[in-house]
Structure 1
Amino acid sequence: MSPILVFSVIAGYFLLLISISYFTSRQSDNVTFFTANRQSPWFLVAFGMVGATLSGVTFISVPGEVGNSNWTYLQFVMGNMVGYAVIALVLIPLFYKLKLVSIYEYLKNRFGKRSYLAGSSFFIISQTIGASFRLFLAAVVLQIAFFDAFGIPFYVTVLTTIALIWLYTYRGGIKTIVWTDTLQTTFLLLAVIISIVVIVNHMDLKAAEVFSVVSKSEMSGIFDWDWRSDRNFYKTFLAGIFITIAMNGLDQNIMQKNLTCRNKSDAQKNIFWFSLTFFFSTLLFLALGVLLYKFAIDQQISLPERSDEVYPLLALNEFGLLAGIVFLLGITAAAFSSADSALTALTTSFCVDILDIEKKKTDQKKTRMLVHIGFTLLMFIVIIIFNAINDTSVVSAVFKVAGFTYGPLLGLFAFGLLTKRPVKDRFVPVVCILSPVISIVLDLNSAEWFYGYQFGFEILLVNATITFLGLWGLYDKRPGFH
């Protein structure tokens, strides 16, 4: 693809996003930015959340990772389905009953202010890292497809990319995101479908034969029963449940969208329909992964060592112009659908939880905009750092980091919901810091200490359990005093 064509496609895409932003942000205020005035149609939120949840990580890494670990990722997604049911039936009713703007306000009501600030801080750290990892993928593709042709350095690519996100989110916030996510999900799924069609046509396969090729491939193996493996079914399935609860149900980014629905019932319908769409979308990505490797073998194409580069290489160089354009739109949409909502959620959490903006007498809108700019710059810095040190598949890196940073959140909410035990609030931040530190030590030494056992995504459960036990030990015999 020529750089001029790439530029035209991306420019047209952003003009469309900015147009949506213009119409959704008219007469907007902080309430609009944080909650979309709680008027979002549930079906719109459900469809848009698919793109935000899949993200650039799934779009690029999951098809490529099929070559390394087959379809074992589906074990994790099966657990996700159970996690979404817990969110719909337990967390959604709670958050709507309390009429929360930031879900971490629950921690203040349950434990105290320091627990509240600890929970919000861990979300901010987790989301900044996760969103930056995802946006890194899009920046790499844009660098290869456009910026390299003009000798433009990577940091300029990143700065341009993140500045464009800020441009269409700074006014309308979550109200704009609900609508742009719908557009971005459409492009993301369209890219996968067209890629599959192109491969099928190249290989001269009939529709019935596609199913046979995918299902009979050695790469379509789903289950791993080796107890020592980090892909073992039981621990991957359980990790899927609890990572979903932590990274979706206890994540301001995702829950902020759910809380824009008109009522609890609409939000629950949104979760159930979204989870089904998400599951079948993941199947598409896994099927695409098998077909990508099959296509490369048939065409005798040498693939890069890093699995994250397999899909971009083939889509941009081997699948033809239409598929290349749609892929470019898909990766851009996938990355921005998660990064834009993350930026909005980070701004919301910092303003509501840390600054307590609703009680300030200063210009609240100006404060919100300054915070929005601050997180934009912070994400830029994290992406540059990640580019300098990254040496593994991004899909593994994101969830590995999440296992350490979301663990305290899961432990805090689990303790709050499952017990009525009061705690010494002033010591809660200490427990939340020690839990991931202990988890990291266990993870680094697991093979030596536990007879070859290696932690996978289930390190989140270990982290959350340590937090839970730490809170249990902080029993406050004087309820009301923290």
Structure 2
Amino acid sequence: MNGLDWTLLALYMASMVVLSLFLGRGQEDADDYYVGGRNLPWWGVGISTMATQTSAISFISIPGFVALKPGGGLTWLSYELAVPLAMVFIMVFLLPLFRKLEIVSVYEYLERRFGGPTRSLLAAVFLLSRGLGTGVGLYAAAIVLSVVLELPLWVVIIGLGVVTLIYDTIGGMKAVVYSDVIQMGILVVGIGLSIVYALDLVGGWSAALDTIDAARLVALDTSVHGLGDLDPNAARKAFPMWGFLVGGFFLYASYYGCDQSQAQRELSTPSLAHTKYSLIFNGFARLPLTLAYVVLGIAVGGVFAKHPEAMKLLHKGQPDYMVPVFVLKYLPHGIKALIFSALLAAAMSSLDSSINSLSASTMQDFIERFARPKNARKQLLMSKGSTVAWGMLVIVFAFLLGGQDTVVERINKIGSAFYGPILATFVAGVALRRVGQAAVIAGIIAGVAVNVVLWIGAGDAVFWMWWNAAGCVVSLAVALLISLVAPARDVDEATLVFNNPEWKREGRWLPAYGLLVGFFALMLWALGRMPSLLDKR
């Protein structure tokens, strides 16, 4: 890194703040701040949603997993299997009600349908898990950047956190979405340039493939199902296709449809149709982006195979440092700055949306319910104050929790234990009229308890993706059983999907849903034939 590289990095960071100053003009109330006045373009929301999934960890971990990690390879693509199907579910069952009720927090729906305690419970779970998880994510991105940029870890954590917090606080959801669009553009260009330079160094695509073990090119693992047949001591870690397909459907339906950090953007477009366009875009675009990471892994892995001296530069031999080391050692100045800007962009796009959604849930689900501001201006100022508070907390969490591997793992698993029961709560709300608040809370407790038993009792023998399905099914079953004895009373009919006028108009969307299902089938076929599709020589 030379003066040119550092100057370009500084300009990138400064441009995000300047952009927020422009986008933050004209904010009058919380709707403007948290959902962009419900006037953001579908393409921006779609790209922003995808950018949030494309964290800095994805940029460095996926290529390293594909090329160098023991037991790694193209099985990472299995993560994408259920995305198109989950998008169809969300568009049919959840979005029509959320948009009709004109809410800011998705947990507000739960109060309308069940009551205040259900809303408070799930909002509190979101705040705790997302707050801690965001701090851990900030640390994970910062530790890699600190090593490759040769900066103290505390400088990177504070710098990354503060710059993101500044533009997030000033610009609100508009700044989140439009900065994510810019950051995604930088990321795609960065990936493309890295692939071009790597293939040039290694001698082309065929030469890169020659350096990859054939076992790494297998994308679908059908040898196990992940329900008790996994061997924790196996030399090659299993990635069961059925676990990713079934468990992944429940995970993505819950994450995209019921998690405030994702659903908040879906409430910021002008109409239900525009929100559906954004999710259709995501249903098609996530796989190509992940494929780009895979190609990057094969290309850069080829460079490391042909230049063994590069392996010695990996920090503690960790595969996650493969891409950063490649950039530092082999790319020209200026391009280095662009790639590291892409890394920063990936980190910031995940951080900004999490902080904004934490602030939104705090204000909407707690503060405004019990101490509503007297006017819109005060409401806006309190919202920005909440964003600042959460930004500072996330930075503190990064320092306190980031270096403790056991804590990080447990935080991630606790989040996974709740995704299925949370989805079950919303499904019961929109589709099962008999289920009331007592039944659904009992279901949540039962679903989480089952996942904890799987975690402690089965350990690594049960693939963690199955937790999402188990938690959801158990939660729904318990809620239904209790509702037979104590059915819900005085249900707001507007909270049931089948009473929504949009339900009768779903037929016009069938072609789009059919395309997504067809894309899923094509994905399944392509991933099953991945070795032969890649090796076209």
Q: TM-score, normalised by structure 2?
A: 0.80
Letter in 2 for 1:416: G
Tell me which residue corresponds to 2:428.
415
Root mean square deviation of aligned Cα: 2.7
The answer on 1:277 being equivalent to 2:285 is yes
The answer on 1:258 being equivalent to 2:258 is no
**Do the aligned partners of residues 391 and 313 (structure 1) sit closer, same or farther apart at CA in structure 2, a change above 3 Å counting?**
farther
Which of residues 111, 116, 125 in structure 1 aligns to 2:114?
Answer: 111
Tell me which residue corresponds to 1:224.
221
Q: For 2:402, what is the secondary structure of its paired residue?
A: helix
Letter in 1 for 2:93: V
Which of residues 231, 234, 240 in structure 1 aligns to 2:242?
Answer: 234
Alpha-carbon distance in structure 2 between the residues aligned to 1:437 and 1:213: 48
**Do the aligned partners of residues 6 and 233 (structure 1) sit closer, same or farther apart at CA in structure 2, a change above 3 Å counting?**
same
Tell me which residue corresponds to 1:28.
27
CA contact (8 A) 1:126 1:406 kept: no
- Per-residue displacement from partner, 1:356-375 (whole Å, max 9, x unpaired)? 26933273233222211221
- Per-residue displacement from partner, 1:174-215 (whole Å, max 9, x unpaired)? 011111111010111111111111110101216xx4796599
Aligned identity (percent) is 21
Letter in 1 for 2:124: S
CA contact (8 A) 2:136 2:398 kept: yes
- 1:221 Cα shift? 0.8
CA contact (8 A) 1:71 1:220 kept: yes
CA contact (8 A) 1:54 1:334 kept: yes
**Do the aligned partners of residues 39 and 120 (structure 1) sit closer, same or farther apart at CA in structure 2, a change above 3 Å counting?**
same
> What does 1:349-428 correspond to in 2, within 5 Å?
349-356=361-368, 359-361=372-374, 363-390=378-405, 400-425=413-438
Tell me which residue corresponds to 2:520.
none
- Per-residue displacement from partner, 1:359-398 (whole Å, max 9, x unpaired)? 3327323322221122112211221233221279x8x888
- 1:91 Cα shift? 2.0
Deviates more, 1:112-121 or 1:429-438: 429-438
Structure 1: 5+ residue runs without aligned partners? none
CA contact (8 A) 2:12 2:341 kept: yes
- Per-residue displacement from partner, 1:397-418 (whole Å, max 9, x unpaired)? 8864531232331121122233
**Do the aligned partners of residues 168 and 217 (structure 1) sit closer, same or farther apart at CA in structure 2, a change above 3 Å counting?**
same
> What does 1:109-188 correspond to in 2, within 5 Å?
109-146=112-149, 148=151, 152=152, 154-188=153-187
Q: For 1:140, what is the secondary structure of its paired residue?
A: helix
The answer on 1:479 being equivalent to 2:489 is yes
CA contact (8 A) 1:24 1:172 kept: yes
Q: For 2:355, what is the secondary structure of its paired residue?
A: helix
CA contact (8 A) 1:315 1:324 kept: yes
Letter in 1 for 2:345: A
Deviates more, 1:406-415 or 1:172-181: 406-415
**Do the aligned partners of residues 155 and 243 (structure 1) sit closer, same or farther apart at CA in structure 2, a change above 3 Å counting?**
same
Structure 2: 5+ residue runs without aligned partners? 231-237, 492-537
CA contact (8 A) 1:118 1:432 kept: no
Letter in 2 for 1:454: V
Alpha-carbon distance in structure 2 between the residues aligned to 1:438 and 1:355: 33
- Per-residue displacement from partner, 1:298-347 (whole Å, max 9, x unpaired)? 11132454332222222223334344222211110001011101111111
Aligned residue pairs total: 467
**Do the aligned partners of residues 260 and 382 (structure 1) sit closer, same or farther apart at CA in structure 2, a change above 3 Å counting?**
same
Alpha-carbon distance in structure 1 between the residues aligned to 2:410 and 2:11: 32
- 1:65 Cα shift? 1.7
**Do the aligned partners of residues 327 and 401 (structure 1) sit closer, same or farther apart at CA in structure 2, a change above 3 Å counting?**
farther
- 1:157 Cα shift? 2.7
Tell me which residue corresponds to 2:302.
294
**Do the aligned partners of residues 169 and 307 (structure 1) sit closer, same or farther apart at CA in structure 2, a change above 3 Å counting?**
same
Q: TM-score, normalised by structure 1?
A: 0.89
Alpha-carbon distance in structure 2 between the residues aligned to 1:76 and 1:146: 30
**Do the aligned partners of residues 40 and 81 (structure 1) sit closer, same or farther apart at CA in structure 2, a change above 3 Å counting?**
same
Which of residues 360, 363, 372 in structure 2 aligns to 1:348?
Answer: 360
- 1:465 Cα shift? 2.8
Deviates more, 1:314-323 or 1:332-341: 314-323
